[in-house]
Structure 1
Amino acid sequence: MHYHDGHFWGMHFAWWIVWIVIGIFFFLFYSSSFQVTKKETPLEILKRRFAEGEITKEEYEEAKKVLTSKK
């Protein structure tokens, strides 16, 4: 390889840029700190629990009444 006439260093520099871009891509798109987490409302939790079969229809309707009633 030609270390002193610039050919090696130019390609070496290009590979550093490629790896840095790949690293930034993975950091931004796969890092948990950049993922937006949505907090479920109590009604959404109730609907999910009913859909998954954790509670009965009667329990769902009673809890929904409590959650949607105004105090």
Structure 2
Amino acid sequence: MHYYDGSFWGMHLIWWIIWVILIAWIFFIPADIPYQKSKKDSPLDILKMRFAKGEISKEDFEVSKKILTSDSTKNINS
């Protein structure tokens, strides 16, 4: 069997390209694929969703938002 006629290197090169693409795809796949990782919502995001659904009134939303934002600034400054 002679591997020097050029056909071996052609197929060999194709397999190397396939492996490089496969490895690159595994390592550089986007992290924001739906259902891949669950993103945790912040308390403010949850509050906004509850307000959007109509579960809480505007007054409740404003009071809760004020509490959440003032609480987060106290934790940062402490």
Correspondence for 1:58: 59
Give the Cα separation in 2 of the matches to 1:15 and 1:5. 15
- Report the AA paired with residue 44 of structure 1: D
Structure 2: gaps spanning 5 or more residues? none
Task: Please report the TM-score for the alignment, with normalisation by the length of structure 2.
Answer: 0.54
Give the Cα separation in 1 of the matches to 2:69 and 2:54. 20
Q: 1:5 to 1:20 in 2, by over 3 A?
A: closer
What count of residue pairs does the alignment treat as equivalent? 65
Residues 12-53 of structure 1 deviation map (CA, whole Å, 9 limit, x = unaligned): 21111121122023212337xxx27765432233223323x1
Report percent identity of matched pairs: 38
Structure 1 stretch 5-14 or stretch 22-31: which is displaced more? 22-31
- 1:1-71 aligned at under 5 Å gives the runs 4-6=2-4, 7-30=6-29, 35=31, 39-51=40-52, 53=53, 55-56=55-56, 57-70=58-71
Give the CA RMSD over aligned residues: 3.0
Runs of 4+ in 1 over 6 A off after TM superposition: none
